[in-house]
Amino acid sequence: MKKIESTFINMLVSLLMVCLLSAGLLAGVYELTKADIALAEKNKQENALKGVLPEFDTIETDSINGTPIFKAYKAGEYVGVATIANAMGFSDNITIMLGLDKSNNIVDYEVLSQKETPGLGTKCVVWFKSQINGKNIETNFKVVQDGGDVDAITAATISSRAFLNAVKNASETLIQKETDATTTATEIIN
């Protein structure tokens, strides 16, 4: 079968058909995968929350100054709160999810996204767990180089500082929430 001649009409029609068919196919696949993609996103967030909060069965989403916060309840009782915070790292923003228990001690954190140097700044994903987990959120965390107690990642001081900045941003959001939480707790007791 000989190839179609490159006349103007042929070129127009063939390109039109290719684009129409592609658009149709893409729309179809988009519809097909829409639900599963939304589910995957939701699962991702839920798994992150499960990792950083004490055991819970309900989550109440709220927001303070545009930052989302997740209040956790178990059998109707408040057990903790988590928020998402970020700070500029060595290459790009480091985004973390930080969770507190009801005494405002850090339960755990999870790094949601970072673009730090592989093998160096990327260690922030686990490096600080032993140093900040269990401590009160109002602690002023600083690296040793800045006069504090936190051991920075070897050869990745900038990433370490950025990580602690993110924790500080999280604490500012959550302390504001603290005031509200106390109010709510009082209401429940009454």
Partner 1 sequence: MKKLTILFNGFLKENPTFVLLLGMCPTLATTTSAINGMSMGLATACVLLFSNAVISLVKNLIPDSVRIPAYIVIIASLVTIVELCLKAWAPAISESLGLFIPLIVVNCVVLGRAEAFAAKNSVFDSALDGLGMGLGFTLSLTIIGAIREFLGSGNIFNINIFPEDYGMLIFILAPGAFIVLGLLMAIIQHLKNK
Nearer to partner 1, 6 or 61 (CB): 6
**Residue 7 or 65: which CB sits closer to partner 1?**
7
CA–CA distance, 3 with 6 (Å, rounded to integer)? 9
* Shortest spacing between CB 18 and partner 1, in angstroms: 5
Nearest to partner 1 of 41, 62 (CB atom): 41
Shortest distance, position 117 Cβ to partner 1, whole Å: 8
CA dihedral defined by 108, 126, 171, 147, rounded to 10 degrees?
130
27 binds partner 1 (CB under 8 A): no
Counting contacts by CB under 8 A, is residue 92 touching partner 1? no
> Does 47 sit near partner 1 (CB under 8 A)?
no
Based on CB atoms, which residue is closest to partner 1, 27 or 88? 27
Told to check if 120 binds partner 1 by CB under 8 A, we report: yes
Burial-class residue 35 by CB neighbours within 10 Å (0-12, 13-18, 19+): exposed
d(CA 104, CA 176) in angstroms, rounded, equals: 12
Residue 9 has φ and ψ, to the nearest 5°, of: -65, -45
CB of 34 to partner 1, least distance (A): 8
C-alpha angle 138-141-143 in degrees, rounded to nearest 5: 175
Scanning 31-39, 48-56, 95-103, 180-188 for contacts with partner 1 by CB under 8 A, the matching segment is: 31-39
Q: Is-contact 141 94, C-beta < 8 A?
A: no
Q: Which of 50, 119, 124, 172 binds partner 1 (CB under 8 A)?
A: 119
What is the smallest separation between the CB atom of 112 and partner 1, expressed in angstroms? 10
